[in-house]
Amino acid sequence: MSGSEFGLIQSYFSIPGQSLLAQQDHPDIIQGIGDDCAILSPPADQHLLVSIDTLISGVHFPAQTSPQAVAHKALAVNLSDLAAMGAKPAWFTLALTLPDNNQNWLELFSQSLFKLASEYQIPLIGGDTTRGDLAVTIQIAGYVPPDSALKRSGAQAGDIIALTGALGAAAIGLDIALEQNRAHYQCLSQTRKKAAQLALNYPCPRIREGMIIRQYAHSALDISDGLLADLGHILSASEVGADVFLEYLPLSETLACLKPEQQWEKALTGGDDYELCFTLSEDKWQALKHAYPHFTAIGHITKSRKLRCLTADGKLFELQNRGYNHFD
Ligand code: ADP
Ligand code: MG
């Protein structure tokens, strides 16, 4: 490690407050940043879940994205993977590839990273810093009680399919960032445009919801590539099909400008929402809905191995872009 790399880690990532957080509230972390390895002692009565995601400039986010948004999103998408399986956040590592040593960028990046990390009480325990085109990789770990992790493979015919929030805002945010489909959004107020961009750049990982759902659901995942593509993963892993009712889709209010068909298409295929999609028995759904009325049922699991989207009058809704699913 060079002197400047050492200084960079000291200034921006090896933050005293963070180590305190690690020592007091995280007895599983014996040692964090500073040595060749972090030292961990996971509790014997928990299962450890591990995931990793890379965000590359120009691929996973537009090159002009702010450092705050890059940091938030890189950690949020990883937290979302923990949420999808019902896990409690434990710790994360950060591999950062930077084109230059831009102090202002690093300051804003690390502030935003630690803001989200402290919201979810998750310490940074190590990483790597290299020079190259901007890329951020975060590896994350979380805990669940043994055999209680929510998998994609547990859906059963007859299950209700439900979602944690609304769909489509991030896809509109991406259109706005890339200046695509402008004509569609002329009627959108500045406030809603801003909301769409916030949804794209600052997704809210559904950790709390995942830990609640864990006690009810047969299967779950987070929606990163669009509802149909991701629900398709549950269907193939569980060897079942699904009927989704368009009238029940929780549509983001940022879709209000679009025609109904366009709204459905965005909600079904737009990525980056990071809501949870989960399946559970009718009985469990009644109990869950009573306690958490903001979750929405959108359809049910079938034996058919087909994924169908149905209009209110029972007609099959055909999407223009059918690249999303392998059930065709
Ligand atoms: P080595 O050369 O032995 O791999 P490094 O120079 O990569 O060590 O890192 C020194 C210490 O700083 C390690 O504890 C490592 O985990 C930590 N570290 C390096 N880069 C980062 C980063 N971007 N964020 C957090 N910790 C980092
Ligand atoms: Mg290293």
Residues 272 and 164 grouped into a single domain: yes
d(CA 207, CA 85): 9
Domain-terminating residue out of 116, 144, 172: 144
pLDDT in tens, 85-137: 999 999 999 999 999 999 999 999 999 999 999 999 999 999 999 999 999 99
Return the residue whose CA atom lies nearest to atom 27 of ligand 1: 127
Q: What is the Å distance from ligand 1's center to 97 Cα?
A: 12
My answer on whether 42 and 127 are in the same domain is: yes
Q: What distance in angstroms lies between residue 126's CA and the mean position of ligand 2's atoms?
A: 9
Do 131 and 34 lie in one domain? The reply is yes
In-domain check, residue 316: no
pLDDT in tens, 170-219: 999 999 998 888 878 888 899 999 999 999 999 999 999 999 999 999 99
- Residue-level pLDDT at 230: 97
Residues 140 and 167 in one domain: no
Ligand number with the minimum distance to the CA of 5: 1
Rounded Cα distance, 28 and 265, in Å: 45
User: Is residue 323 in some structural domain?
Assistant: no
Alpha-carbon span 301 to 42, nearest angstrom: 36
CA atoms within 13 A on the CB side of 41: 8
Q: Is 320 a domain residue?
A: no
Owner of token pair 């948004």:
69
Q: Which ligand is nearest to the CA of 94?
A: 1
Residues 118 and 180 in one domain: no
**Does residue 323 carry a pLDDT above 80?**
no
Measured CA distances, 64 to 23, 60, 72, 96 (Å): 37, 12, 15, 17
Can you tell me the mean pLDDT for 57-86?
96
Q: Which residues line ligand 1 (CB under 6 A)?
A: 1, 9, 13, 33-36, 94, 96, 124, 126-129
Gap from CA of 76 to ligand 2 centroid (Å):
24
Contact between 168 and 267 under an 8 Å Cβ cutoff? The reply is yes
Identify the helix (H) or strand (E) that includes residue 50.
strand 47-56
Residues 203 and 102 in one domain: no
Q: Which atom of ligand 1 is nearest to the CA of 129?
A: 20
Same domain, 256 and 280: yes
The atom number, within ligand 1, closest to the CA of 32 reads 14
CATH classification of the domain holding 187: 3.90.650.10
Q: What is the CATH number of the domain that holds 94?
A: 3.30.1330.10
- Give the pLDDT of residue 186: 84
Cα–Cα distance for residue pair 210/88, rounded to 1 Å: 9
* Domain assignment of residue 245, given as a range: 160-310
Output the pLDDT for position 3: 60
Nearest ligand to the CA of 95 is 1
Q: Are residues 196 and 100 in the same domain?
A: no
Substitution site in 2, 9, 93, 137 for ligand 1 pocket (most atoms within 8 Å of beta carbon)? 9
User: What's phi and psi for 79, nearest 5 deg?
Assistant: -60, -35
Q: Any idea which ligand is nearest the CA of 36? A: 1
- Same domain flag for 247 and 287: yes
Structural domain count, the chain: 2
Ligand 2 centre distance from Cα of residue 131 (Å): 12
Residues 181 and 107 in one domain: no
Residues 225 and 298 in one domain: yes
pLDDT on residue 326? 36
Is residue 68 in a domain? yes
Residues 124 and 227 in one domain: no
Judge whether 179 and 250 are in contact, CB under 8 Å.
Answer: no
Helix axes 260-269, 227-238, angle to 10 degrees: 50
Nearest CA to ligand 1 atom 11: 34
Nearest CA to ligand 1 atom 8: 36
How far is ligand 2, taken at its centre, from the CA of residue 57, in Å? 22
Average pLDDT, the chain: 92
pTM of the predicted model, to two decimals? Answer: 0.93
Atom of ligand 1 nearest to the CA of 96: 23
- The predicted structure's pLDDT at residue 21: 60
